[in-house]
Amino acid sequence: MDIRFLQKVSHNNEDVVTEFLVSIMNHRYVRTAVLKSLFSGLNNPLGMNDVSDITYESIKSQSTLKSGGRVDIAIESPRCKFFIENKIGNSAPFQTYQTTTYPQEIYHSHKKYKGLVFLLPDNYDLDKNSILGMCESSLKAEGLQPGFQISDYVCIKYWSEFYQDMMESEIQKDNQMFSFFTEYIKNRLSCFQTFVFTRGDILTMFDPKTVERVLEFRSKWYQFIYRVDEYVRNKHPGLLASDFTGFENGGNGLGKYLRLNGSGEVAYWFGYEFRVEHTKSNFFCCINVSHFHEDLFMDDDKGIHSRLLKGSFEFIPVFDPEWVYFEIPGFFLDSEDWDKNIELFGEEVIRIINLDPKKN
C-alpha cells in the first residue's frame, strides 16, 4: 500500500489536483480517456491502442527528473513517455526547467508515443502561443530535425476543455470518484465559482479499504512515535518533548519534534516523511539546518533549490530550507517485537542526533 496517500489527502493545492488525476487513472478505460483528452492537441492525437501498454504502475506523481525539475506526472511504458504539468492558479508561474528540460527530454525520447501537456485554467496569464514559443526556443539549440513542429511534442489543454471531454464520456456516469473529480474541475478549475474540497470530500474519492488501512497505520504510528520519543529523551537528557506533526495541520509527515533543554530551540525531528523520493524507506531524523555552517553546503546545478551537503555526513537531498534529512532504515519494521522496534528506531535517532556538528 502507498502510505503517501496520507499526503494526498492533506493539502488543497496543485499537489492534490495532481493526485486526483493520478487516482482516476487507476482503471484502464478511464486512463485511456484521460490521456486521449489531455494529448488531443498534439499533431498526432493518441488512439485507443496507443496507450494500451501503460499500467497504473507506469504513472508517477511528483517525479524528479535526472535532467532537472520535478514534473507533476510522469508516465513511461515500453512504447510511451508523457509528462503532465498542471496549474490551478491563473498566475501560477512557470519554472524555467518546465519549458526547457521537460520539452527537451520528450523531444529526445525514442519512445513511439510521447508528449508534454500543460493543463491550465482558462484565463491563465500566459497565452498558448507564448508557452509553446518558450518550449520551441529551448529546443532550437538542440539541433532540430527537418520538418520540426513544436506541436508534435508539446500541447496546451485548458481545464474547461478537459472537463467537456470527460462529460461527453460515459465514464463519469458510473464512476463516483470520476464524478467527484469532474465536479471539481467544473467548480474550481474552470472558474465557474470558488470551490474548495474538504478533506472528507477527498477521502471519498479513494478506495475505502485503502483509507481504512492508512488510518490504521496512522494510529499505530502515533503510538510508536510517542514511545520512541520517551526512549530517546530517557537516553538523551538534554532533549525536551515538543509537538507532533501530522496531516491534520497540513504537515508532510507524521513525526515528533525535539527541543534543546535550556534554549528551548526546536532542533530535531523524527518520523515518517512523504515527500522524499529515491530512498529505501521514508523514515527520517532531521537536524535543523542552522546547526550546519553554510560552507558545508553547495548549490546543485539543476536549478531546483536542493542542498548538497559536502563531507562525510550521511544525508538525503530534500527540497526543504529548514532541515537536513538523514534516513533511518526500515529494518525495524521487519520485527513484530514492539519493544525491540522502539529500541532500534530510538537508537537510530540518537545516532543521527550525535552527528549534529553543533554538538561536536
pLDDT band at 153 (very low <50, low <70, confident <90, very high): very high
pLDDT band at 348 (very low <50, low <70, confident <90, very high): very high
Residue 153 identity (one-letter amino acid): Y
pLDDT tens digits for 261-285? 888 889 999 988 765 554 566 788 8
Residue 31, pLDDT > 50, answer: yes
347, HSE (Cβ side, Cα atoms, 13 Å):
8
Listed range (132-146, 203-217, 226-240, 245-259) with the worst mean pLDDT: 203-217
Chain position carrying cell 538523514: 326
Strand, coil or helix: what is 182?
A: helix
Which sign does the torsion angle of CA 264, 269, 275, 278 carry?
positive
* CB-count burial class (<10 Å; 0-12, 13-18, 19+) for 20: buried
Share of the chain above pLDDT 70, in %: 68
Structural element, H or E, at residue 128: helix 128-140
Summarize the confidence of residues 109-130 as an average pLDDT. 89
Average pLDDT, the chain: 76
Rounded Cα gap, residues 60 and 19, in angstroms: 10
pTM value is: 0.56
Rounded Cα gap, residues 111 and 94, in angstroms: 26
SS (H, E, C) 274-340: CCCCCCCCCEEEEEEHHHCCHHHEEECCCCCCCEEECCCCCCECCCCCCEEEEECCHHHHHCCCHHH
Q: What long-range pairs does 29-35 form, CB within 8 A, spacing at least 24? A: 29/171, 30/171, 30/175, 30/178, 31/56, 31/59, 33/165, 33/166, 33/169, 33/171, 34/166, 35/75, 35/82
**How much is the pLDDT for 156?**
94
pLDDT band at 347 (very low <50, low <70, confident <90, very high): very high
The more confident residue out of 179 and 100 is 100
First to last CA, the chain: 40
